[in-house]
Amino acid sequence: MAQLRTAPDATLYRLSLYHCYLGELLRVGAPDRITSRQLADELGIKEETVRRDVSFVGDIGRPGAGYDPLVLFREFTEFLSVSDEYPIVMVGTARTLEALQVVFPSERYGVKPVGLFSELPEDAGLVVGALEVGHLTDLKRLDPALQVTVGLVACSPGWVQISLDLLAAAGITGVLLLTSIIKIRKPEGMTISQIRMPCDIKSLACKCRVSVGAVGNR
């Protein structure tokens, strides 16, 4: 049975980061043991933070002996309630969905798209990967047996709110929003994680200017 999520949001994010890293490590051949220091060094996180994060999951490994990577990966999988093929739905034009397959080969990360939906009527019936693209309005017929709770939205800005409302009506409670839009109305009961690309670029540009200025003033 999945454990209750008692960890802070920042810890949950880092646990998902450790989970992804261990998954990649296991695919290429993981060592017999991995220490919190190694995890910290590889991911740019303080060692004490790694240890504290792991303590939320349970009593794993022995002090000074490190962790069995496979056991640690399985413990994280259970705690985060993700399977080897965690089902998601994806919203965007067929062209966008094809591009996402390139930059985000989902099968590498334990994610399995089970439904693709486009705002363009002409995209309906096209096949991306092994899935047929449906029109956005087909979301209302999403099969509950799929047990999907998470969606990825990369549609055009004008369709974001409609997409969120339709996803909420279909039982989706979590959305990763990639579309560059600043103001949205969050449906009740839905958690939205958003990548605000223009804001992120501006913030990064400011940090770079500050960094360059600091170097120049030495």
Provide CATH 3.40.50.720 ranges for the chain. Answer: 86-199
pLDDT in tens, 169-194: 999 999 999 998 888 999 999 999 99
Provide CATH 1.10.10.10 ranges for the chain. Answer: 9-80
SS3 state at 66: strand
pTM: 0.73
What is the per-residue pLDDT for 3? 45
Residue with tokens 């940090």: 207
- Checking if the pLDDT of 108 tops 80, the result is no
Whether 133 and 94 have beta carbons less than 8 Å apart is answered as: yes
Enumerate long-range contacts of 198-201, CB under 8 Å, 24 or more apart: none
- Residue 169 φ then ψ, to 5°: -65, -25
- Residue 46 φ then ψ, to 5°: -65, 140
Say how far apart CA 187 and CA 160 lie, in whole Å: 12
Q: Which fold has domain 86-199?
A: Rossmann fold (3.40.50)
pLDDT in tens, 57-106: 888 876 667 899 999 999 988 888 776 678 999 999 999 999 999 988 88
Question: Which residues, in sequence order, are CB contacts of 169 under 8 Å at separation 6+?
Answer: 139, 140
**9-80 placed in CATH 2.30.110.10:** no
pLDDT in tens, 125-151: 999 988 999 999 999 999 999 999 999
